[in-house]
Structure 1
């Protein structure tokens, strides 16, 4: 008999929960669990036993130290993403995942992504040119959609070798439609079947559009003649995938390209959106960012060589990702028995770590609800306390590119404009696939 089976000790929790309430307000739900039941909680939801872990050492146990015992297969993450992304890097498991990771990792090494700095600054400058009429007239901008288009353009140029500037806003609308459907709980019986049907129709249309964009990227690269080199050398990541013995089918290529495009642009766009919002709400922090950018750059475009001299910009982004982590929940399913924090874990248990909760834990963060970028000035954080890119072996392969994008794009924006939230505009985090502003982010850009 397993030693874990002998203990029989289970975490505290509320038992069966109201699914509709949980899905309607997931952030309030997990906050309430942690507040009422502590750092390891247990509840029943939709036939699953669910543990929520709220301490960094427990997150490390599941994501890293005993990661082999925990899989993404048949988790909420998997069920939400697989219908759109297929069997890509985010959804695959085991050796299949390891093979895909080995293939993609070289394109995202720090030495490789530093070569993309010109793409980041040029793309951001092009976005500012498109903003010029709105800047001159004071017309509000849907900043979240513009940033989605920006990060999409950067990613496709840098990693896939294709310029799709001009369709980015349509891509952003398609991503919104996907989020509205796959991140939305529908109770049984459905109280509003017409609304559900509308969301599902929007998802199907968005999937067709996203498939079309993805297949166009692949066809364009094939037509242009892939170099066959590795990404970061003579070719792009798409060239590498197209020349690989392991990824030869159109279906495989489609899954990988759409996964990289979706995961790589959406999270960075949201990080930048929340950063700009928080800097507007905290003018003293915005002044620090502007002072650094003006002093270090003197009006010239930033490069990768400037990153070490832009720590204030970097901390502004890091603190935004602490308060509003683009990925707000990580879920795994236990393969075998285990013990976590003194509690028994049975096979099949759904084990979750929420960055939203962990990043606000009062035992680890001083004034956790306050935007205070200086908290990252030389701070030595416990392992797996700060998880904007996840943790363990499956930590986001694109984390270095994401930070380079966010810091350099922020510097370019700060050089040219001041962004102010439209007076009275409601800002509320919505926890769907990513943590997004529920109503978007309408801001007014004024010239500096």
Structure 2
């Protein structure tokens, strides 16, 4: 059990005393109507360590870098994903893959996957990433010639799906890219709005049917990829992530069971494309709203890359481009809420945390904390994100920081470079962009933008 009161410290409040927050129980449906506003209002009124109650549980909310570091890094073994809303929402969909497993199972899976996500391995896929970006730029260029707008969020989702399946799993799913994106939308809509209290109404049943159909479709896609690899065998060289999961010769890992392989492949496909697609969408949206930064990015690309196709070796020179990406995921972090369950009693911000307490950290509010970010609501790419510590958590923090961070940033940077090298994207009139906090943070009604070819 964790030590509760450090030597010399003022004793924590006794059991049952929770951090400040609303006295009355809150309806979950009311929170889910606008969770971002709820979190902002909660921290504004009650401070960086606060709480609220619903009919079935008390939730603590930690909103300082120090508290986030304690939960996600310093004492991370005491804060598990098991039993959290994340676990409740994602495990029925993903099974027990890297994102949803815990303890020894998670450690084994992390060791198995780590070689495929090392920077040298990631950068070897730059040609594949650029090829996908060139195809996207060509499609958008044709739309520009016809004077049509483009649905940015769906198109970049299809792109990131193509990249992750080809790079990590050796499969090509371009033919189902847009259908896959629709399936992800259906899953997000069901999970993000599920509150357990509306299971009898017609809208719920419609969302449930869409969810069941989407999950069945995703399961069939994953099973097809696995069966194809079992037939063809290893893909040459040192093998890819799917080879490792199937126990290919020469990989120093134990092979996984058939169900574990399915769960891990589905996790990599979902997590490996969804957050990167959202990061790209929000970056293009903000550059469209801030033409001065878009112009600086294009000038930087022209100087560093010129008219040739970029490679991973060009990325260190694209300093302002990277800052624009980093600032976009500060303002719109794809993963907007991180939830953990206390395994043992602990001390957090002067309060005793009882075992079994749900404790949450939100990158959305941390990234807008006025004590750590000047003019936090403004898009200022010149900020130093690399020095922000646990006030900046677009990929989480601690040992469970996103394993695909290097993959996601390399892909996003190369796609931005190719697209902005060739095209200008601007806001489409009459298409408001409102963030919606479901499983990930997404544009509620999609992201529609105008596009035109660059002429210098």
TM bracket, shorter-chain basis? over 0.9
Q: How many residue pairs were aligned? A: 441
Equivalence for 2:324? 316
**3-state secondary structure, aligned to 1:364:** coil
Matched, 1:404 2:410: yes
Alignment of 1:29-428 (within 5 A): 29-186=38-195, 188=197, 193-227=201-235, 234-243=238-247, 246-376=254-384, 380-381=387-388, 383-428=389-434
**Cα distance between partner residues in 1 of 2:384 and 2:224:** 42
**Cα distance between partner residues in 2 of 1:278 and 1:168:** 25
Equivalence for 2:8? none
Displacement of 1:186: 3.6
TM-score normalised by the chain length of structure 1 = 0.95
Displacement of 1:349: 0.5
TM-score normalised by the chain length of structure 2 = 0.94
Contact kept in structure 2, 1:30 and 1:357, CA below 8 Å: yes
Displacement of 1:444: 1.7
Contact kept in structure 2, 1:334 and 1:350, CA below 8 Å: yes
**3-state secondary structure, aligned to 2:173:** coil
Contact kept in structure 2, 1:268 and 1:402, CA below 8 Å: yes
- The 1:11/1:419 distance shift into structure 2, 3 A limit, reads same
CA deviations over 1:263-298 (Å, ceiling 9, x no partner): 010000000000000001011111110110011111
Contact kept in structure 1, 2:162 and 2:173, CA below 8 Å: yes
Displacement of 1:187: 5.7
Displacement of 1:376: 2.5
**Cα distance between partner residues in 2 of 1:137 and 1:403:** 32
Contact kept in structure 2, 1:141 and 1:443, CA below 8 Å: yes
Displacement of 1:207: 0.5
**Cα distance between partner residues in 2 of 1:275 and 1:3:** 43
> Mind listing any 5+ residue stretches in structure 2 that lack a counterpart?
6-10
**Cα distance between partner residues in 2 of 1:130 and 1:222:** 34
